[in-house]
Chains A and B, each alone.
Chain A
Amino acid sequence: MAAAAAESDNGRGASPAAGAGRDSAAAVASPVKAKARALMELETTSASAAASESSEAKVDDGNIQEAESSLREGLSLNYEEARALLGRLEYQRGNVEAALRVFDGIDLQAAIQRFQPSLSEKPPSKRSNKLRSDSSNSGSQHAASLVLEAIYLKSMSLQKLGKAMEAAQQCRSVLDAVESIFQRGIPDVMVEQKLQETVSKSVELLPELWKQAGAYQEALISYRRALLSQWNLDDDCCTRIQKRFAVFLLYGGVEASPPSLASQTEGSYVPKNNLEEAILLLMIILKKWYLGKTHWDPSVMEHLTFALSLCSQTSVLAKHLEEVLPGIYHRTERWYSLALCNYAASHNEAALNLLRKLLNKNESPGDIMALLLAAKLCSSDYSLASEGVEYARRAVTNAESSHGHLKSTALHFLGSCLAKKSRIAISDHQRSLLQTESLKSLSEAISIDRHNPELIYDMGIEYAEQRNMHAALKCAKEFIDATGGSVSKGWRLLSLVLSAQQKYSEAEVVTDAALDETTKWEQGPLLRIKAKLKVAQSLPMEAVEAYRTLLALVQAQRKAYGTVKNGTEDDYDKVSEFEVWQGLANLYASLSYWRDAEICLQKAKALKSFSATTLHAEGYTREVREQKQDALAAYFNAVSTELEHVPSKVSIGALLSKQGPKYLPVARSFLSDALRLEPTNRMAWFYLGKVHKHDGRLADAADCFQAASMLEESDPIESFRSL
Chain B
Amino acid sequence: MGYKSRSHAIDAITLTSSPPPPPTTTTMTSDTSPQPIQSARAAVDSLATVLGGAFPDTLASADDPAAVLLHDTGVARAVVGRLRGAGSGVGNDGLCRWLYDAFQSNLPELQLAVLRFVPALAAVYMSRAVSRKPLAGFEAVLLALYAHAAAQRGAGEPETVTLPNLANPSVYHDAKVPPKTKAAELDVAVLSPALEPHGTMRATRRARIVGAVLELYHGKLALMPLSSKMDFCEFCVAWAGNRSKLDDKPRVAPASKTEGGATAAAADEKWRRVPLPWELFQPALRIVAHCLLGPTNSDELKAQAAHAAECLYWRAAETMDARALLATRSLVRLSQMTEEPIPEPSFSGGVENMAELEAMRANILSTKN
Q: Which parts of B351-369 form the interface with A (CB within 8 Å)?
A: 352-353, 356-357, 359-361, 363-364
Residues 471-486 of chain A, each 1 if its beta carbon lies under 8 Å from chain B, else 0: 0010001001111111
- Total interface residues on A, CB under 8 Å, equals 130
Min CB gap A460→B, angstroms: 14
* Contact A248-B357, Cβ < 8 Å, known A264-B171, A310-B191: no
For B204, give its contact among A156, A283, A518 (CB under 8 Å). A518
A522 vs B294: C-alpha distance in the bound complex, in angstroms?
Answer: 37
CB–CB A484/B326 < 8 A: no
Chain A residue at smallest Cβ distance from B9: A506
Choose among B191, B196, B285 the residue with the greatest number of A CB atoms under 10 Å from its CB: B191
CB–CB B323/A204 < 8 A: no
B153 at the binding interface (Cβ < 8 Å) = no
A201 cross-chain contacts in B, Cβ below 8 A: 343, 345
Residues 61-96 of chain A, each 1 if its beta carbon lies under 8 Å from chain B, else 0: 000000000000000000000000000100110000
B71 cross-chain contacts in A, Cβ below 8 A: none
CB–CB A518/B202 < 8 A: yes
A28 cross-chain contacts in B, Cβ below 8 A: 360
B170 cross-chain contacts in A, Cβ below 8 A: 264, 268-271, 280, 284
CB–CB A267/B183 < 8 A: yes
CB–CB B13/A36 < 8 A: no
Residues 256-298 of chain B, each 1 if its beta carbon lies under 8 Å from chain A, else 0: 0000000000000000011101000010011001101111010
A518 vs B196: C-alpha distance in the bound complex, in angstroms?
Answer: 13
Min CB gap A507→B, angstroms: 9
Min CB gap B260→A, angstroms: 24
A255 at the binding interface (Cβ < 8 Å) = yes
Could you say which of B78-86, B95-103, B158-166 contacts chain A? B158-166
CB–CB A298/B337 < 8 A: yes
Choose among B171, B273, B282 the residue with the greatest number of A CB atoms under 10 Å from its CB: B171
A194 at the binding interface (Cβ < 8 Å) = yes
A92 vs B350: C-alpha distance in the bound complex, in angstroms?
Answer: 9
Chain B residue at smallest Cβ distance from A5: B348
A567 cross-chain contacts in B, Cβ below 8 A: 158, 188-190, 193
A484 cross-chain contacts in B, Cβ below 8 A: 129-132, 203, 206, 274-275
Could you say which of A133-141, A335-343, A588-596 contacts chain B? A335-343
Min CB gap A31→B, angstroms: 13
B173 at the binding interface (Cβ < 8 Å) = yes
Contact count A vs B, C-beta below 8 Å: 315
CB–CB A409/B359 < 8 A: no
Min CB gap A102→B, angstroms: 15
Min CB gap A28→B, angstroms: 8
CB–CB B342/A208 < 8 A: yes
A247 cross-chain contacts in B, Cβ below 8 A: 293
CB–CB A251/B293 < 8 A: yes
* Contact A250-B360, Cβ < 8 Å, known A299-B337, A314-B326, A484-B206: no
Residues 10-35 of chain A, each 1 if its beta carbon lies under 8 Å from chain B, else 0: 00000000000111011010000100
For A310, give its contact among B166, B246, B327 (CB under 8 Å). B327
Could you say which of B35-43, B46-54, B137-145, B328-336 contacts chain A? B328-336
For B222, give its contact among A253, A267, A275, A287 (CB under 8 Å). A253
- Total interface residues on B, CB under 8 Å, equals 108
A2 vs B6: C-alpha distance in the bound complex, in angstroms?
Answer: 93
B110 at the binding interface (Cβ < 8 Å) = no
A216 at the binding interface (Cβ < 8 Å) = yes
A7 vs B55: C-alpha distance in the bound complex, in angstroms?
Answer: 73
A264 cross-chain contacts in B, Cβ below 8 A: 170-171
B219 at the binding interface (Cβ < 8 Å) = yes
B193 cross-chain contacts in A, Cβ below 8 A: 566-568
CB–CB A486/B363 < 8 A: no
Min CB gap B222→A, angstroms: 4
Min CB gap A12→B, angstroms: 20
B32 at the binding interface (Cβ < 8 Å) = no
CB–CB B169/A311 < 8 A: no
CB–CB A197/B285 < 8 A: no
CB–CB A284/B166 < 8 A: yes
A253 cross-chain contacts in B, Cβ below 8 A: 218-222, 224, 290, 294
CB–CB B343/A204 < 8 A: yes
B204 cross-chain contacts in A, Cβ below 8 A: 485-488, 517-519, 522
CB–CB B222/A216 < 8 A: yes
B344 cross-chain contacts in A, Cβ below 8 A: 156
CB–CB A284/B173 < 8 A: yes
Min CB gap B112→A, angstroms: 13
B241 cross-chain contacts in A, Cβ below 8 A: 451
CB–CB B349/A2 < 8 A: yes
Residues 247-262 of chain A, each 1 if its beta carbon lies under 8 Å from chain B, else 0: 1101111110001000
* Contact A251-B290, Cβ < 8 Å, known A39-B357, A40-B361, A305-B327: yes
For A311, give its contact among B13, B19, B191 (CB under 8 Å). B191
A316 vs B294: C-alpha distance in the bound complex, in angstroms?
Answer: 25
Could you say which of A368-376, A576-584, A599-607, A691-699 contacts chain B? A368-376
A344 vs B326: C-alpha distance in the bound complex, in angstroms?
Answer: 9
Chain A residue at smallest Cβ distance from B218: A253
A350 cross-chain contacts in B, Cβ below 8 A: none
B132 cross-chain contacts in A, Cβ below 8 A: 481, 484-485
* Contact A340-B275, Cβ < 8 Å, known A36-B357, A39-B357, A276-B161: no
A21 vs B353: C-alpha distance in the bound complex, in angstroms?
Answer: 18
Min CB gap A311→B, angstroms: 4
B17 at the binding interface (Cβ < 8 Å) = yes
A250 vs B291: C-alpha distance in the bound complex, in angstroms?
Answer: 11
Could you say which of B58-66, B116-124, B312-320 contacts chain A? B312-320
In the assembled complex, 24 residue pairs joining A and B whose CB atoms fall closer than 8 Å, in A order, are A21-B363, A25-B356, A153-B345, A156-B345, A193-B348, A243-B340, A264-B171, A269-B165, A269-B170, A271-B164, A276-B162, A309-B324, A314-B322, A372-B320, A454-B318, A481-B16, A482-B130, A485-B132, A485-B204, A486-B206, A509-B14, A518-B202, A519-B198, A519-B205
Q: Top 7 nearest A-B pairs by Cβ distance?
A: A513-B17, A253-B221, A405-B245, A344-B322, A311-B189, A309-B327, A267-B179
Since A269-B168, A473-B9 are in contact, a sample of 16 more A-B pairs with Cβ atoms closer than 8 Å, ordered by chain A residue number, is A36-B357, A36-B360, A219-B295, A299-B334, A305-B327, A316-B163, A344-B322, A453-B275, A484-B129, A484-B203, A485-B204, A488-B204, A498-B9, A509-B10, A509-B13, A517-B17
Chain B residues packing against A (C-beta within 8 Å): 6, 9-10, 12-14, 16-19, 129-132, 158, 161-166, 168-173, 179-180, 183, 186-191, 193-194, 196, 198, 202-207, 218-222, 224, 241-242, 244-247, 273-275, 277, 282, 285-286, 289-290, 292-295, 297, 314, 317-320, 322-327, 329-331, 333-334, 337, 340, 342-350, 352-353, 356-357, 359-361, 363-364
